[in-house]
């Protein structure tokens, strides 16, 4: 039986040309310093440079509004400032990994990712040297138990942050409250408090509206937290003007070969409404249109509008609901439990406890 010729199948398709793919990659790597992006950078960098003790910076915003790009720029700027001061780096940056096999928030995997991204050697991979008495000691590879390796990783992480005065940046923090049980949420929040309390260095964590629970859950955490809302562009004149500048800069980035000049910026108000003011969505629709039709000519308004209308019909309600959830004011939970006397009984009735975990002023190790 003859084999299927998949190569012949490929030849029949009208695939995106390589030069268009390069233009898409270049656009995805682009960082536009639009008004709200620069404002967020300014607030976070000033908070970091202030070295406020026990400072937790929480960045909340809907999907595709530019949080990951913001964190990448913050990490790059902190590293650049550190290198100017003669240091090797300025931050540990990592994304929240999925829960482990038992449904727990996997801090070990998170810190391991931070080590890997900064070319840091894990404690478990280092060589353990014995005490030098006579001659050179024999090299013994470290082979600790899983609990000992986890403990060593935490101690090494905290020590590095303390000694090098590093900023810890955690992206996609909404994974913490969304995927875990209440007990594991408590454990993850307790670990955040432990990091900021032990290192005395800022920790920046960001996510969608679900991350609000991290702040609302704990009164002690709220008072040491700076909340930054990264909102989409709205209907005000200033927002309309800023979003139009963003679209104009996107056209310039693509160039006349891939985008007809002023074809998109002339309709920036309609684009802003269709993508709910989210710059990341405007870029995503552009890359979608280019990948599907880039080989047939430049991107213009009729082509872009096809993708915009299709997206708006499918996601308009979800975008509005997410914006509503993100815009709600943050209210911390009550910290103290309430005890009431039951008539005719010597025993008190204790309501369920909400709020801070035990010993919030001086967090214990998160694994204890």
- Tell me the C-alpha distance between 124 and 232, whole Å: 44
pLDDT by position in tens, the chain (length 368): 788 999 999 888 888 999 999 999 999 999 999 999 999 999 999 988 876 655 888 898 888 899 999 999 999 999 999 999 999 999 988 877 766 676 666 777 778 877 877 777 777 676 655 555 555 555 555 555 677 777 888 888 888 898 999 999 988 776 665 555 666 666 777 777 788 888 888 999 888 877 777 677 677 777 778 888 888 999 999 999 999 999 999 999 999 999 999 999 999 999 999 999 999 999 999 999 999 987 788 899 999 999 999 999 998 888 888 777 777 766 654 443 334 444 555 555 544 444 444 444 444 555 44
283 within domain boundaries: yes
Note whether 69 and 86 are same-domain residues: yes
Note whether 159 and 58 are same-domain residues: yes
Structure tokens at 267: 């309709």
Quick one: pLDDT at residue 338? 39
94 within domain boundaries: yes
Give the chain's domain count.
2
Quick one: pLDDT at residue 169? 92
Please compute Rg for the chain using Cα positions: 25
**CA atoms in the 13 A half-sphere facing the CB of 130:** 8
Q: Indicate the burial class of 2 (C-beta count within 10 angstroms; 0-12, 13-18, 19 or more).
A: exposed
Q: Domain range for residue 292?
A: 17-28+236-327
Note whether 192 and 266 are same-domain residues: no
Note whether 81 and 182 are same-domain residues: yes
State phi, psi for 350 to the nearest 5 degrees. -100, 125
The CATH number linked to 183 is 3.40.50
Name the residue among 63, 252, 51 with its Cα closest to residue 171. Answer: 63
Note whether 166 and 125 are same-domain residues: yes
189 within domain boundaries: yes
Note whether 68 and 193 are same-domain residues: yes
Non-local (6+) Cβ contacts of 204 within 8 A are 44, 48, 57, 59, 71, 74, 167, 168, 169, 170
* Residue at which a domain ends, from 229, 263, 293: 229
Checking 220-223 for CB contacts under 8 A at 24+ apart, the result is 220/193, 220/335, 220/356, 220/360, 220/361, 221/56, 221/189, 221/192, 221/193, 221/332, 221/356, 221/360, 222/330, 222/332
The helix/strand/coil state of 85 is: coil
Note whether 170 and 274 are same-domain residues: no
Note whether 297 and 219 are same-domain residues: no
* Residue at which a domain ends, from 175, 210, 229: 229
Note whether 73 and 179 are same-domain residues: yes
Note whether 77 and 219 are same-domain residues: yes
Structure tokens at 262: 């002023």
Total number of residues shown for the chain: 368
355 within domain boundaries: no
Quick one: pLDDT at residue 278? 94
Quick one: pLDDT at residue 181? 63
* Residue at which a domain ends, from 229, 264, 281: 229
242 within domain boundaries: yes
Helix (H) or strand (E) holding 174: none
333 within domain boundaries: no
366 within domain boundaries: no
- Tell me the C-alpha distance between 158 and 195, whole Å: 7
Note whether 251 and 192 are same-domain residues: no
Note whether 286 and 152 are same-domain residues: no
249 within domain boundaries: yes
């Amino acid at each position: 039986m003859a084999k299927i010729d998949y190569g012949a199948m490929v030849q029949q398709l009208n695939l995106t040309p390589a030069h268009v793919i390069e233009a898409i990659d270049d656009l995805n790597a682009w960082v536009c310093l639009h008004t709200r992006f620069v404002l967020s950078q300014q607030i976070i960098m000033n908070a970091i440079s202030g070295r406020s003790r026990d400072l937790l910076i929480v960045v909340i915003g809907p999907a595709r509004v530019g949080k990951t790009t913001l964190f990448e720029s913050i990490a790059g700027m902190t590293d650049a400032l550190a290198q100017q001061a003669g240091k090797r780096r300025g931050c540990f940056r990592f994304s929240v990994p999925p829960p482990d096999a038992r449904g727990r928030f996997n801090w070990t995997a998170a810190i391991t990712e931070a080590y890997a991204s900064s070319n840091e050697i894990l404690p478990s991979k280092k060589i353990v040297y014995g005490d030098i008495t006579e001659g050179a000691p024999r090299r013994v590879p470290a082979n600790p138990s899983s609990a000992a390796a986890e403990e060593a990783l935490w101690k090494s992480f905290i020590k590095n942050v303390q000694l090098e005065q590093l900023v810890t940046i955690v992206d996609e923090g909404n994974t913490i409250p969304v995927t875990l049980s209440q007990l594991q949420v408590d454990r993850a929040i307790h670990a955040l408090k432990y990091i900021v309390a032990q290192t005395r260095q800022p920790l920046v964590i960001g996510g969608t509206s679900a991350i609000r629970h991290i702040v609302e859950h704990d009164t002690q955490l709220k008072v040491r937290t700076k909340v930054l809302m990264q909102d989409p562009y709205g209907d005000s004149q200033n927002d309309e003007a800023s979003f139009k500048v963003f679209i104009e800069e996107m056209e310039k980035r693509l160039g006349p070969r891939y985008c007809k000049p002023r074809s998109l910026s002339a309709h920036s108000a309609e684009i802003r409404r269709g993508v709910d003011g989210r710059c990341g969505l405007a870029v995503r629709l552009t890359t979608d249109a280019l990948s599907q039709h880039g080989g047939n000519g430049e991107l213009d308004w009729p082509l872009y509008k096809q993708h915009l209308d299709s997206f708006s019909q499918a996601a308009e309600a979800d975008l509005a609901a997410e914006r509503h959830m993100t815009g709600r004011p943050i209210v911390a939970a009550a910290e103290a439990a309430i005890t009431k006397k039951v008539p005719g009984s010597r025993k008190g009735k204790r309501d369920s406890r909400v709020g801070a975990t035990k010993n919030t002023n001086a967090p214990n190790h998160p694994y204890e």
